[in-house]
Amino acid sequence: MKSSCSRLVWAILLGSSPILLAADQCPDIDPPNLPAIKATLKEYYHTGPYDAAVNEVVDRGIDYLRSRGKAKKGDAVVFDLDETLLSNEKYIDGVLLAGLKTFALPETSLRPWQLKAEDPSLPTKRLYDAAASLGYTIFLITGRPEIPQYRQATERNLSKVGCDGYERLIMKPADYKQPSVIPFKSGARRQIEEKGHTIVLNIGDQESDLKGGYAERTFKLPNPFYFVP
Ligand SMILES: [Mg+2]
């Protein structure tokens, strides 16, 4: 009984493609090993479930904006960038899910990939376009550091994927020292609202993109590949 319960826990943790455990394996003391978990995440990423989940959240966001109709004066929408508008698929495939020794790497290991400015967009671009066509003011808030080379690369990447016309790209101060991005991101939203905007929608792939208030509705995209506190 205990074994089947634990098997269920692993199935929930690992999504729709649970790793099969040998009948006599006790998952309480012998959980699936790292290569098996990576294989499951790769399957999730590349065989449809990830795209389906992103599209489902995006569709709900678009339905919400359309239900509100045209933006009223000051109405704004906030987007995160990485794994929200932009996909770091080469980093996820080539680093996080590759090899056997690493499970996750420090946030800074993503930086060289971001500087390439080659990230494709995610389906969240549909929500971006819907927000723009309904007249919402678009703000981008990212944990990428406010350093000239990162700003230039990020703006270039956004332009490449057609994300133009946003009001402001707000980047994390280069000297930011707090362990969580929540104070930075919620503080940026507070400043947006203090300037007379109402944030009607905030979307991101991390809970830390969304916590801390200053948004009427939040939408959480899937990201089982890395965690930003
Ligand atoms: Mg993100």
Instruction: Encode pLDDT of 122-132 as tens digits.
Output: 999 999 999 99
Instruction: Encode pLDDT of 128-178 as tens digits.
Output: 999 999 999 999 999 999 999 999 999 999 999 999 999 999 999 999 999
Q: Cα(86) to centroid of ligand 1, in Å?
A: 8
Instruction: Decide if 19 is inside a domain.
Output: no
Instruction: Decide if 189 is inside a domain.
Output: yes
Instruction: Decide if 78 is inside a domain.
Output: yes
Q: Cα(5) to centroid of ligand 1, in Å?
A: 33
Q: What is the DSSP string of 6-34?
A: HHHHHHHHTTTSPPPPPTT--TTTSPPPH
Q: Cα(216) to centroid of ligand 1, in Å?
A: 19
Q: Is the pLDDT of residue 3 over 60?
A: no
Q: Give the domain range for residue 207.
A: 51-220
What share of the chain has pLDDT > 90, as a percent? 71
Q: Cα(148) to centroid of ligand 1, in Å?
A: 20
Q: Cα(65) to centroid of ligand 1, in Å?
A: 21
Reported in sequence order, the residue ranges of 74-136 that DSSP labels E, i.e. its strands, are 75-79
- CATH number for the domain spanning 145: value is 3.40.50.1000
Instruction: Decide if 44 is inside a domain.
Output: no
What does each C-alpha distance from 109 to 64, 65, 81, 96, 212 come to in angstroms?
35, 35, 16, 10, 26
pLDDT of residue 30: 79
- Which of these ranges, 2-6, 12-16, 123-127, has the smallest mean pLDDT? 2-6
Q: Cα(113) to centroid of ligand 1, in Å?
A: 14
The mean predicted confidence, pLDDT, of the chain is: 88
Number of compact structural domains in the chain: 1
Q: What is the DSSP string of 49-66?
A: HHHHHHHHHHHHHHHHHH
Q: Cα(24) to centroid of ligand 1, in Å?
A: 40
Instruction: Decide if 101 is inside a domain.
Output: yes
Reported in sequence order, the residue ranges of 129-216 that DSSP labels E, i.e. its strands, are 137-145, 168-172, 198-204
pLDDT of residue 99: 67
Instruction: Decide if 85 is inside a domain.
Output: yes
Q: Is the pLDDT of residue 8 over 60?
A: no
Q: Cα(67) to centroid of ligand 1, in Å?
A: 26
* Residue 32 banded pLDDT, cuts 50, 70, 90: confident
Q: Cα(201) to centroid of ligand 1, in Å?
A: 16
Dihedral over Cα of 28, 30, 33, 36: its sign: negative
Instruction: Decide if 104 is inside a domain.
Output: yes
What share of the chain has pLDDT > 70, as a percent? 83
pLDDT of residue 29: 73
Instruction: Give mean pLDDT, residues 205-215.
Output: 97
Instruction: Encode pLDDT of 79-120 as tens digits.
Output: 999 999 999 998 888 878 886 555 555 566 788 889 999 999
CA nearest neighbour of 78 among 226, 229, 227, 214: 214
Instruction: Encode pLDDT of 58-80 as tens digits.
Output: 999 999 999 999 999 999 999 99
Q: Cα(162) to centroid of ligand 1, in Å?
A: 18
Instruction: Decide if 17 is inside a domain.
Output: no
Q: Cα(25) to centroid of ligand 1, in Å?
A: 36
Q: Cα(85) to centroid of ligand 1, in Å?
A: 8
Q: Cα(106) to centroid of ligand 1, in Å?
A: 14
pLDDT of residue 31: 82
Q: Cα(82) to centroid of ligand 1, in Å?
A: 4
The residue with greater pLDDT, 151 or 39, is 151
pLDDT of residue 34: 82
Q: Cα(173) to centroid of ligand 1, in Å?
A: 16
